[in-house]
Structure 1
């Protein structure tokens, strides 16, 4: 019996994460698609003055794209597809200020943590749901949306422990105790000064992750934002390893200039 590869859709939703010059007239795109994950795609003629793609291939805009069958890039092991069609599929205006930096931060996380051609529809949907909530003034709703996306990303990649139990013993959390979340220890009793969570907060985060609703996860994050920001920064730094986030460094430098 011959097993056939699954047939790819004629078009699929996608976002542009990054682009590189390929020639005088073309671009290499790093696309994040719902069905195929992160892909390297050639956009032929996209730099030409009258190309219809120029006004479409923008970051943070939901697209509907049609791709050719993949071919092997002679200069690398990456399978590169050709962009056949790209249409704007609705969305919001490009973010500005702090919201723009936050958007590029999300893109950099995806570029550095997602392997190519590894579909994660849950992460795609979470990304699409997070972008409209980014605000220039970084209000509580925007911060909760960012933390919820970070949690969803880590959970879907298998990098987040079960938040409803003590990681080492797998016993349920004591409702009267505080806990920390570390990259090596998981959920544990704080042994040093670290961001601490109430047991109920961690259980609610885990329930929202299992439920699958990004809105519910954002609401749970809003209840423990100060602790979440510190511990998730540590988790992401740990799993990124030798791949520091340039977006965060640029934001810190800009804040120093403004101060």
Structure 2
């Protein structure tokens, strides 16, 4: 006789949630130990549910997951491609205050990147830690700090998914970048010498960004990104769109729409 799986407690963030039946929710949670998981939270919408005030985005949680539901129990609530788990409990694990205003859009942008690029049940503990370290910077009153945090997370995500070339080496020739040279990161060919139409990034700045990536320090990476924001933003956007297969993310569309009303 098969022994029932014991519940497991995981560090997690809620990336996305939507209604399932009148009283329950389906969650997409990003866990440190098991990656991105689909989870059913039964009864979470009920007025007196202890889960209702806890299952919020951008809040670090400890979630207790039980065994998967029986065949057919989840119905059509979750699309194929991942084993659905039942949420047994969730507790706030402390951390930053809730994001508001423009910071909220930035947070949802990170969540959308993870939802679209990170496969289910593919653990990336370093990426989880980077996400946790990035959230506080999104609430900064200094837009440059927020933009540097976003670029640092984009770089970390691409690196952990194996989609980022070595930024100190010209991809085609495998020669080291010249510190006084100008370079561009192109989606289909990697790192190249900048063309007249490109906004170049210096070899010195690329070496600094690569060193921070290898060190794994998010503050150091944010500082390195802050020195090359305009060029890095446009080049990373093109690279992300290439791998996403989409020109505009939903979060960015909403942000543009809100800004146009101002």
State TM-score, norm by structure 2: 0.91
Cα shift at 1:51: 0.2
Secondary structure of 2:222's counterpart equals helix
| Number of equivalences | 252
What residue in structure 1 maps to residue 20 of structure 2? 22
Which of 79, 89, 94 is the matching residue for 2:93? 89
Moved more, 9-18 or 50-59: 9-18
Query: 1:183 deviation in Å?
Result: 0.7
Taking structure 1 as reference, are residues 235 and 125 closer, same or farther at Cα in structure 2, changes over 3 Å only? same
Write the mapping of 1:1-259 to structure 2, written as runs, cut at 5 A. Answer: 10-71=8-69, 73=74, 75=76, 76-77=79-80, 78-135=82-139, 137=141, 139-242=143-246, 244-258=248-262
| CA RMSD, 1 decimal | 1.7
C-alpha displacement of 1:9 = 8.0
Q: Unpaired segments of 5 or more residues in structure 1?
A: 1-6
TM-score of the pair, normalised by structure 1: 0.92
Between the aligned partners of 1:8 and 1:173, the Cα distance in structure 2 is 52
Q: Which runs of 5+ in 2 are unaligned?
A: none
Which whole-Å CA distance do the structure 1 matches of 2:169 and 2:7 have between them? 40
Residues 33-88 of structure 1, C-alpha deviations (whole Å, 9 max, x = no match): 00110000000110111000011000000000110123465545331000011000
**CA shift for structure 1 position 10:** 2.9
Q: Provide closer, same or farther for how the CA distance between residues 254 and 137 of structure 1 changes in structure 2, counting only shifts above 3 A.
A: farther
The separation in 2 between residues aligned to 1:243 and 1:220, in whole angstroms, is 26
* Aligned-partner Cα distance in 2 for 1:164–1:88: 41
How far 1:192 moved relative to its partner? 3.7
Please state whether the residue corresponding to 1:11 is helix, strand or coil: strand
Post-superposition Cα deviations, 1:193-238, rounded to whole Å, max 9, x if no partner, equal: 1121000101111111111111111111111111111111111111
Distance 1:196 1:176 in 2: 11
Distance 1:224 1:143, change over 3 A: same
Separation in 2, partners of 1:8, 1:179: 52
2:169 and 2:247 map into 1 onto residues whose CA distance is 30
